[in-house]
């Protein structure tokens, strides 16, 4: 059994627009793998050489073909071309957390703005109509922050309500959607702009710990945005957010963690994570659907967060999903990697663009081990 938290949300908010944005720098997964193995050898000698085959296997089996980063260094074979890291194959002195936060402050706002502009344009709402901004990120912090910069850059109202969801990891986007639904339920005239931006590649850790090597092989940079308002606030719309649900899997507290270290943020992933998710997914989905009075057999559209290929496969096996049901998730993983809280909006954008009818279930996972879900219905 799962340890349940807040009861499922009952309010409905309509999703009117989605927007996504990626850094211009894109690298093949094999190119990033060469950067990592060369760094391991230069930094740790024989120990690094022994770790290189494991690094190669992790990257080859990740399900990722390309990833985007705000840093060009991962695509460079010659250390003299490095711009963020020291021009030394061992990357010493390894950049401090402060240096990484300087890069986040410089690089995060433009991508957040690009995603927000795309979502607003597709929603039909103007920037000055937005009453609430929900900003999610877990890869950087500064104040006055990117939420305030968006007010200036987008022309948002200065008296709008602002909420930041920070450091919750890959499921933070779901909490942003919960907040959007709550704001719309409290005020049917509310227009909520959700913006998620992540700079995961700023936090590469070179210590030869398996959990760090796994994280290095998966995470990437990206931004996404969504616009929610009451059904009928505008003509059209992409989908109605009909129910949300969150639970914490038992005996999993240390399977995924995210901590601030001296040289960036340190993500730890236990090899048991896919098994834990697979074991509890059926009961979790049943609880999510029960909040909307639906049965599992009524759902044929899925948008699981692509935390990694093993996680997608564990979900597919547990929920008896065919390959088509996880296509959007696998395609986002292959083309973009895991962009933490922004990723679910990339999957939703792709899955909704495919068309189809009937309920759509989105799933996400993060430290805790936390499981989050959202049920979308076609707009009426």
Question: Could you read off the pLDDT of 121-172 as tens digits, one per residue?
Answer: 999 999 999 999 999 999 999 999 999 999 999 999 999 999 999 999 999 9
Q: Residue 20 corresponds to which tokens in the numbers above?
A: 């996504």
Q: Residue 306: which domain range?
A: 3-10+238-377
In a domain, residue 218? The reply is no
Instruction: Note whether 281 and 363 are within 8 A (CB).
Output: yes
Question: Where does residue 196 fall: left (phi above 0), alpha (psi -120 to 50 degrees), or beta otherwise?
Answer: beta
Written as six digits, the tokens of 193 are: 């702009």
Predicted local confidence at residue 161, as pLDDT: 97
Q: Pairing mode, if any, of strands 161-166 and 132-137?
A: parallel
331 inside domain: yes
Name 10's Cβ contacts closer than 8 Å, sequence gap at least 6. 243, 291
Highest mean pLDDT out of 5-19, 61-75, 355-369: 61-75
Whole-model pTM: value is 0.95
What pLDDT, on a 0 to 100 scale, did the predictor assign at position 9? 36
Token pair belonging to 205: 């850790």
Q: What is the pLDDT of residues 171-228, one digit of tens each?
A: 999 999 999 999 999 999 999 999 999 999 999 999 999 999 999 999 999 999 999 9
pLDDT of residue 11: 53
Q: How far from chain centre, in Å, is Cα 105?
A: 19
Percent pLDDT > 90 in the chain is 92
In this predicted structure, what is the pLDDT of residue 8? 39
Residue 216 counted as domain residue: no
Structure tokens at 5: 């938290």
* Half-sphere exposure for 286 (CA within 13 Å, toward CB): 8
Q: What pLDDT does residue 10 have?
A: 47
Burial status of residue 271 (CB atoms within 10 A of its CB: 0-12, 13-18, 19 or more) = exposed
Number of domains observed in the structure of the chain = 1
Distance CA 60, CA 65 (A): 9
Res 156: pLDDT: 97
Distance in angstroms (rounded) separating the CA atoms of residues 218 and 77: 20
| Assigned domain for 296 exists | yes
182: exposed, middle or buried (C-beta count within 10 Å: 0-12, 13-18, 19+)? middle
> What pLDDT does residue 268 have?
87
What are the C-alpha distances in Å from 291 to residues 6, 177, 348?
A: 12, 16, 21
In a domain, 293, yes or no: yes
For 65, half-sphere exposure in the C-beta direction (CA atoms, 13 angstrom radius) is 5
Residue with tokens 């009928």: 232
Instruction: Count CA within 13 A, CB hemisphere, residue 167.
Output: 9
What does the pLDDT look like over 222-278, one tens digit per residue?
999 999 999 989 999 999 999 999 999 999 998 999 999 999 999 988 889 999 999
Residue 366 inside a domain? The answer is: yes
Q: Is residue 84 part of a domain?
A: no
Report which of 106, 177, 174 is spatially closest to residue 140, judged by C-alpha positions. 106
Residues 201 and 74: beta-carbon distance below 8 Å: yes
Q: What is the pLDDT of residue 3?
A: 41
Instruction: Write the CATH number for 278.
Output: 3.40.47.10
Confidence at 109, pLDDT banded by 50, 70, 90: very high
Does some domain include residue 276? yes
Which residues lie below 8 Å from residue 315, measured CB to CB, with a gap of 6+? 277, 278, 281, 304, 321, 326, 363
pLDDT tens digit sequence for 292-348 = 899 999 999 999 999 999 999 999 999 999 999 999 999 999 999 999 999 999 999
**φ, ψ of residue 259 in degrees (nearest 5):** -130, 155
Average pLDDT, the chain: 94
Strand boundaries in the chain, DSSP class E = 3-4, 13-21, 25-28, 66-69, 132-137, 161-166, 191-199, 221-229, 239-248, 256-261, 264-269, 301-304, 360-366, 370-377
């Amino acid at each position: 059994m799962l340890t349940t938290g807040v009861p499922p949300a009952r309010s409905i908010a309509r999703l009117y627009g989605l927007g996504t944005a990626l850094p211009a720098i894109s690298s093949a997964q094999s190119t990033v793998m060469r950067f990592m193995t060369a760094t391991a050898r230069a930094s740790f000698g024989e120990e690094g050489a022994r770790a290189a085959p494991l690094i190669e296997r992790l990257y080859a089996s990740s399900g990722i073909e390309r990833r985007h980063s705000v840093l060009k260094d991962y695509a460079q074979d010659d250390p003299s071309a490095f711009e963020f890291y020291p021009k030394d194959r061992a990357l010493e002195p390894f950049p401090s957390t402060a240096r990484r936060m300087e890069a986040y402050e410089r690089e995060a706002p433009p991508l957040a703005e690009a995603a927000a502009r795309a979502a607003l344009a597709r929603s039909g709402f103007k920037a000055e109509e937005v009453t609430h901004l929900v900003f999610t990120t877990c890869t950087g912090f500064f104040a006055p922050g990117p939420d305030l910069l968006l007010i200036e850059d987008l022309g948002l109202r200065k008296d709008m309500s602002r909420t930041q969801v920070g450091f919750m990891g890959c499921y933070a986007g779901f909490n942003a959607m919960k907040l959007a639904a709550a704001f719309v339920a409290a005020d049917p005239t509310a227009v909520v702009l959700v913006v998620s931006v992540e700079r995961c590649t700023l936090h590469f850790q070179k210590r030869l710990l398996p959990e760090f090597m796994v994280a290095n092989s998966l995470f990437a940079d990206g931004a996404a945005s969504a616009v929610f308002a009451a059904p009928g606030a505008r003509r059209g719309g992409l989908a109605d957010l009909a129910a949300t649900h969150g639970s914490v899997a038992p005996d999993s507290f240390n399977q995924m963690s995210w901590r601030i270290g001296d040289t960036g943020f340190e993500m730890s992933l236990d090899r048991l994570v896919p098994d834990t998710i697979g074991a509890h997914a059926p009961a979790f989905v049943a609880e999510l659907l029960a909040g909307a009075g639906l049965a599992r057999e009524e759902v044929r559209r899925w948008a699981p967060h692509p935390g990694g290929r093993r996680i997608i496969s564990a979900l597919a096996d547990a929920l008896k999903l065919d390959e088509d049901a996880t296509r959007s998730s696998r395609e986002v993983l292959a083309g973009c990697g895991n962009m933490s809280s922004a990723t679910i909006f990339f999957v939703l954008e792709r899955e909704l663009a495919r068309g189809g009818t009937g309920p759509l279930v989105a799933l996400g996972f993060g430290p805790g081990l936390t499981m989050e879900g959202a049920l979308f219905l076609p707009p009426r």
